[in-house]
Structure 1
């Protein structure tokens, strides 16, 4: 059956064996007169610690960058670039070289043509070296100062301790897969303030710090400096001479980090964890506030469920359906006769900038009249300005940076032909998701050899024929030997997260037929299990969900992109018939609910649990790329490892049991556990991340007091509310709590073993979190910052 393949085996082996062998030429130094070739995939510079690699890297069909990247492959099989010499001019896959000339100039050639140079020269001996820091430096052998370094010419990324100065600038990539220069710049402006700017061929506008809503000093910046430098240290603290500072959510740990101006215009700090980049800080929390997100004549909307979307306004259609950052164009011809036009009311909508007329203290009719008189008017914005208690009129000559605002007093009136106004249907707007441009960069080049070699052509065609025969044999062999069982195919099907997809039979075997139950709740029952590699796991059998397999896999894809040390790690899942099962890491000490009254939880462990849980929730709310509400924060969903480090579990699963989720993050079904639910659920108010903040506050009060959210008191079985009980105690004590008064609130098992200032601060934070008014509650990131400051003070 396999004889035909065996007959060609010697020829196939000959076909695959190269006639000329090559050795690994990776080093961390390039000397004068030496070069790196695009055709030798072993021609690399590697830092002494092995963390970074510099060389040619393919980014498209016959397209290569000379770049520096993290040597280790990410979980998705990609490399992470930190610097590129030729991001806007990829070179060919043949005859391109990077070399250090004898005169001291670094040169990159594209099939013989120079496309990039360092413009350096020296009469002293030189060498190019890739340092452990990721900095590619050109230095004289006898002197220490560098005559050129990649750190002085960043692309879109800076590394820890890399100095960012007035002479450097970060430029975003065009998209996630197109690394050419994009529209966003991060730099020191002439007033010594570090800024973010949208900079296209048509439009340039500053969008951070938030102008003109905030003056420089109101944004906490200082213009009174002339040094103009900034850097991110190895612990996760960013400092700038204009007083802009922040710390990452994992501050204090020496992880691998990078700070990148992303293609969407946001500056984020990423931390490397388990071959995945996790967002540990981001500059802008509202993506639609970034200018240029959706182009002209479109509206940017954002939700944590679906991310950022661009919508063409009524009367407009997309210019480029594959990339809505190009904006939208009108479906009508504008004429000078304004009698054929009317205005479409867009409440809570703002278009930043491009005001041809600005008037304060006018009526609506006067503002409308100002627009009709202006031949360039596309719309007018009418809003109430609180400080002066007057109405403001903005006549818009261009509709750009459109987004929804929280203030109901801001309304935009879009000028359209009367037919478009009458036919407007808000539910049928032309909405499209923001998509990225093509990642394939194809360079058409023709290489003409010096001499035509007939024998070489014969060998080439002979090799092609052998390759076809080999492929045919492989397909034939695969076809007759493959298993027909769909179960086997299904067991190795994976979604984009890299999860393992288990069959139900595998789950039964791993869980020993669901024999060892270790927990249960409203979402399902949890069993102990053992993977084939002998790792202990928790297997959660979810109650029958309302979603089908496709929706479940979509939720798994979202969870798979979430990775934080204080969030439970998911190993795999099962989606077979009606079974919906999760497999995640096993936590030796079980849930916080099981341990909260244990003597093992001393004060320091409780404080660390409160801090760790806050970090995990802050990541879900504000830092990960898919914003997630937990909706059921309670001690049962905070798990503890062998060292009592907390990890939040069951995040992202609320939608699996949804009977329908409507727009604006308003859930149609109450979620959570009685005692931990925020008032918004009861009063049918909009659900935001503040519901998790409220639940977290209840958990912290439990940690402090050792009491349930409610409990029976006395013979009358009167129910006592924990929040009311603590508030009453605190109000009786006043601002300064005595040690005896603290003891009245504190869990009796703690006795005198607690830090007084930590306890008072944690109690204050908890009471802020459980405020009835959601706007009075802090965000989880603010909670984290308060608790981290307490740790630093210690």
Structure 2
């Protein structure tokens, strides 16, 4: 990233290659944000190579600038890390500006990881207390160069090397310093279409400096997952960013009589010691900290093997972590009068059974000579308790059977009224012949053709695995099952077993609109009817159904055609349901398909029904022109050269030229239609589609308005007045 700390407007900024040989990035205000500062007397060209390197060269082949010389947080195979380059992490998982962690060559020729925080800086890999040869490094080679080769082998001039777990050729890899300060090698899994970690430098992430900020410590939850926590008596400075650490809720007095210490077992804060005091006793270490006004805690480490101990008074509490492997404890200095209230804050700490934590009580116990009454009362209580448990179990069994019978009755009633039922996984597996007849797939899952025992042909969608609970899934399915409209695909049932989620739909003989667009089966009348029917179906979802439903993925692949080529919109139930009272609710991630996504998704604006209106407009333009939105349209500019244009811009341009050129419809209409269409209807359809794809969502009509406009045109095909009031 060339401008990670100066992001620009993605819609109004541009990257330009000037004739002078300079490559510049300008923002919406035409100000230069970034440039290569290159010059050339001869012509230049910019090329992106298959290695990932973006190279600016002149006609003589001289390289003026290349992106490999300016890495951000990632190193690609064959890209050099040198004395003049470094990898810098992102600020967070969603903030790509410069973060606090750096991978670089130090002045002693060693490749190191550096934490460069808001207040302090420190090297944390290799371990700073190790000399170079103990860390397996050499300081003698001053070339300071490192590279990852195409086999997954990394080698550095300081003798540091590693090899990917999937060592070998023909794999895509990238080495990245992540926002959490760890360096990981990622490999691409072609089958799963995802990146996985094939190597990482630090196996215990809690030991990364600054990971939880000041006055907080890191703990391991499960495996290598970690959690940050404030120390007792401290609170987070920024509730959304742990790097700012925690701040105290108390005022610490310098008087030793007003301070006390709270034991935090197995907690270590490395660095920022007042000094190192070996062979100090616990009381000596405690008194030393009390004498120092700037001592806010002390670390006491006791070694059982030789009986020695170390004392570390702390002036700052940074780089804290808790681990059962650490032999020492931290004693946190707190005000005496608040000590009891802070004791409740350490419930997460387990008891430590060390020698200094046990005390021999100076007392003996004698057995009572007669305890028969106590024994009798104990046996009597156990008997009564056992009887109560048996009664509770019997009542639970009876109520469970009653509930199951009630559920069966309800399900039978639902099947009798709507035909909507719950299938077993075994039934659907048999209906699809072990899921062999695949008829389509998308982001939501795979669709198979099946035949039910009553000979009904169905489409069965096997959804991708998700963390959605069964109750939440059943609630959404029950809503989808109630949706009934002639232009919406009908759901006949569902299956939920364990993590398996399947939906059973009616089968459409002619497949999807996408499969039919390039054929001669769709004449002008069918295309107009498909546009009108799709609008009616979406209008029903948006405004007529009791629960407002947004589709969020309207595209030709989700518009199915029955035996009469009547459209039925599919996959509408997989989007998030929109509550009537949540007009400005937004989705957490982009849903949709490239080319059909409304600008609101990219600009992170609240999502409304107008996203479906935009996608519908793109679909209509695709039906009219026969051209997809992502492939681009090749138009001829004023100089006679061919240039690619987006579908929407191309149609608008042709329509605006209508005054000077009356044959604009012939230029954009799908050649398959030849000239067999009604001109007035076609102009109306294009006008409506262009209104649907307006950049500003407020300028777009609703789907009910779209359906009404097309219906009016269908009833009055002689109307040429295009003054449509929205």
TM-score of the superposition, structure 1-length normalised?
A: 0.45
Higher relative contact order (CA 8 A, sep 6+): 1
